[in-house]
Amino acid sequence: MILQVFAFFFLLRSGYSNSLPMEEEFYYGDFPSDFKWGAATAAYQIEGGWQDDGRGPSIWDTFLHKCMASKCQNGDIAADSYHKYKEDVQLLKSLGVYFYRFSISWSRVFPDGTPSSRNAAGIQYYHNVIDELIKYNIEPMVTLYHWDLPQTINDKGGWENDTIVDYFNDYAREMFREYGDKVKGWITLNEPGVVSWLGYGTAVFAPGVYKPATGPYVVNHNLIRAHSKAYRTYRKEFFTTQKGKIGISLSTDWKEPKTDSPADKAASERKMQFDLGVYAHPIYVNGDYPEIMKTKVAEKSKLQNLSKSRLPVFTEEEKQMIKGSADFIGINHYTSRYIYNSPHNDWPSLAQDPDTDESEDPTWKTAKSGWLKVVPWGMRKLMNWIKKEYPSTDVYITENGFSDCGDLTDQGRIDYYKAYINELLKAIKLDGCTNIKRYTAWSLMDNLEWRAGYSEKFGLFKVDYERADRPRIPKASAHFYTDLVKYNGFPRNWDMRYVRQDIVDRDAFIHGTFENDFAWGAATSAYQIEGGWNEDGKGPSIWDVYSHAGRIVNKQTGDVACDSYHRYKEDVRMLKSLGVSHYRFSLSWSRIMADGTLATVNQKGIDYYNNLINELLANNIEPMVTLYHWDLPQGLQDKGGFKDEAIIEYFNDYARLCFSMFGDRVKLWITFNEPFVVSWLGHGIGVMAPGISEPGSTVYTVTHNIIRAHVKAYHTYNDHFRSHFNGKVGITLDCDWKEPREDTLWDRAAAERALQFKLGWFANPIFGNGDYPAVMKRTIKSKSMKQGLSKSRLPEFTDEELRQNKGAADFIGINHYTTNLVSQKEQSVEEPHYERDQDIDVSYSSCWRESQSGWLRGNPWGIRRLLKWVKDRYNSPEIYVTENGFSDDGKSLEDNDRIWYYNGYINEMLKAKKEDGVNVKGYMAWSLMDNFEWGSGFTQHFGIFHVDFDTMNRTRTPKKSAATYTQIIKDNGFPYK
């Protein structure tokens, strides 16, 4: 009965504010003239320097060093703000904010948590930060405790021990004394509910204590006493001279009744008191816990046969100390929940004590953090509830923000800020919540999101955690927030579009099909699958020699690989089961010519490929044959390989023989696969066979010879075989899409330059004007002169070669896997180097799906942009996507990431064809089966079919993606169904 009385009491108060209408209409107007805007961070999340200059370990150092976060990530370096705080202040300056809310690392200033361990370097660090802020008229708003308790204090009982009250007070006193002449806004504790429940209730946060029945109540009791004692210390010892304000930051979702029933409304109110009132009621009302909380926990404890309530009791003296012990209330608010009445008597737990459960609306947008649902109207309702409960208290919004994967074009964050801050404005202007004084965006920059590591990004500024220098880059939301601060609200004439519409719509899925003769296929290469490395007269290739030298991971080789030399019929059966029309495979040059010359033609090698081609045709599968997929005969390498222009004639002899042997049945020829890999990885940095590291000039010489070899072979086919066989000859070039990291003139130019240095290097001579791209010629010549050379390191074509080059292909093959972010960066000219010649910096977006290959991040829209670039630059040539695929660890046949990849990339290819007019003629999935992945051996798996490399018969098994790809082929795309 007593609970019903309390429920009725709560419903009577002020008409029950959580019945406020959810107004969706946008409200234009200004915030009050004295309203203040800021941004926030926390020490452990950004500082790094975890043991620099005498800092002691905190409980979060200990906790995450146990590999408790995503990917075993930790805050050892984080955003490196310990060394880069001046850059952080410049970010704040660019936003135009009035204040910066940051926290002090207790263990940086007092390594063992006590003043006796005072660390001068740590003390000075925060002086430096504060002085830098004041230099730019940015008010420091300092949080004393943001969850990172010194480990030594935790070893003495931490927040479960009463002694923590004095430890915290001693720490606070010294901070007030040290910084109080410059700091006028203090927050004692950030989100004590997280400390008590996640740290001591569920053990999912540091220090990892699991006591759900009693731990949170004991810890809350000490947190409240520690806060109030520190407040009283400030008022007694420092306020007269410093005139600062002290508050506490409390976190809460808005608790919306699931129904209009009295029971659910009472449940909603009850849950608000348990989550927010547990701290706010003692501090801002009467010095004690809410009555409903005291009653509920006492009743539950009695039912659990306990002699007294699990909720501790404040003494009368403590109540007097606690009551009124704050000058403002800080509110961290992100989301809302529907609350409904739900009695629990299962086991003692803070979670069960309120007799409530929660749910959410499935239509609410979810942030990257699964718990964060976008419910803007909850902000307004919460502000009205606080006005009712604590009417004379100033309110600071000390955190509010949205998580995503870290894209610079963060429209979701803009939408979130716009909606939530507008609801805040409604609360002030329409509801009379005039005590709301500040708004703090969480967060200034991407940081360590505790257990989520670096996978969830809340920042207005991106921090590139893959780089040692941790560069900061403004996101679109930073520009939005800057203008919001400048306008102090939402004027009607403000155009709030900060992300181009084409980017907003970029990932839209379309329905449609390819033309009926579109070529669907799968791809492999000889060295990666054949095995039989020295059988039936085959000579050694550079990859045999390279792998036998132990240069592959785990000293693996392609000696057996998938054993396709003996199992090609199984491969054809796999292709047939997929329903493909084409199979792209390569010829092993040293299987056909043991030393690479006509003097060592090997009939058994020719027979092998005749058998494979005939088997394909017997199953209505067209062969698409690559002449060279990186496996040069070692005999030719010994004569200079691609560094020597003699390779042109050797390759032409090989090509002529292949055309004559197989051309009656092969109608699609590719001369070279990814010549960039041959030149740069093989001869520039030496991480691929033949392992030559000559990055300044040999890379250009090798490319020059490859292009000339291709052109000669093309004209050989054109002059001697086309009229008989009517086939087509092309070349396959690999290229990541190069996206400007920022939408600036400099970065756009850098991205274009990167495309010209990668794809244009090979494509422009053949599909363009016959010569290297102008930007390459100009840039490399300039750098060569600065390096004291008499001529450019980039070779020149003769006039005759220019004429022969132009148009020397019937199609272009594109191997595409991923996207790079490119920005302008001046590089040193001291040492000749292909990469430094470009004056660019390359990175990835954390939003792109990671694969087993470190260089490969799934980003489907990149393929559309690359295909359109090729179309626009080279007069719409015929294009075959000759490789595209995704790697995993091969441990599961349920390869859902690969399915996502194929669906996304093929759909973007369809967009390129349908919406951009790209003349794309076919798609070859990489790869038909798991194989030898070059330097990575058998550790990366791209296959649609799994290959068991631990068995002699190399058993092939279809993965889940095989069915997906088969359906795409059967549907010829993505028709409406």
Catalytic residues: 399, 883
Give the whole-angstrom CA distance, residue 582 versus residue 622.
5
Residues 740 and 823: beta-carbon distance below 8 Å:
yes
- E strand or H helix at 341: strand 336-341
Instruction: Say whether 59 sits in a helix, a strand or coil.
Output: helix
* Chain centre distance of CA 757: 26
* Chain centre distance of CA 208: 27
Q: ∠478-479-483 over CA atoms, to 5°?
A: 115
The count of residues in the chain is 977
Residues 186 and 233: beta-carbon distance below 8 Å:
no
Residues 299 and 48: beta-carbon distance below 8 Å:
no
Residues 702 and 852: beta-carbon distance below 8 Å:
no
Q: Give the single-character DSSP code of 187.
A: E
Question: Which among 890, 972, 964 has a CA at the least distance from the CA of 923?
Answer: 972
Provide the strand spans (E) within 71-194. 99-103, 139-145, 185-190
Spell out the residues 6+ positions from residue 189 whose beta carbon is closer than 8 angstroms to its own.
143, 144, 145, 195, 223, 226, 227, 248, 249
Give the whole-angstrom CA distance, residue 45 versus residue 157.
24
Q: ∠453-456-458 over CA atoms, to 5°?
A: 120
The one-letter amino acid code at 976 reads Y
Give the whole-angstrom CA distance, residue 885 versus residue 916.
23
Give the whole-angstrom CA distance, residue 680 versus residue 688.
9
* Chain centre distance of CA 305: 50
Q: Give just the sign of the alpha carbon dihedral 65, 66, 69, 71.
A: positive
The Cα-based distances of 309 to 119, 302, 303, 324 in angstroms read: 42, 7, 10, 25
Give the whole-angstrom CA distance, residue 893 versus residue 904.
20
Pseudo-torsion of CA 296, 301, 304, 306, nearest 10°? -170
Q: Give just the sign of the alpha carbon dihedral 272, 278, 279, 285.
A: positive
* Chain centre distance of CA 807: 40
Give the whole-angstrom CA distance, residue 842 versus residue 831.
19
Q: ∠702-703-709 over CA atoms, to 5°?
A: 90
- E strand or H helix at 485: helix 476-487
According to DSSP, the β-strands at 945-947 and 956-958 are: antiparallel
Q: What strand order describes the sheet that includes 356-359?
A: 254-257, 336-341, 356-359
Q: Give the single-character DSSP code of 462.
A: E
Contacts 24+ apart (CB under 8 A), 243-246: 243/184, 244/180, 244/183, 244/184, 244/185, 244/186, 245/184, 245/185, 245/186, 245/327, 245/328, 246/186, 246/187, 246/188, 246/326, 246/327
Instruction: Say whether 463 sits in a helix, a strand or coil.
Output: strand
Question: Which among 592, 703, 729 has a CA at the least distance from the CA of 654?
Answer: 592
Give the whole-angstrom CA distance, residue 54 versus residue 125.
12
Note if the bond before 207 is cis, omega within 30 degrees.
Answer: yes
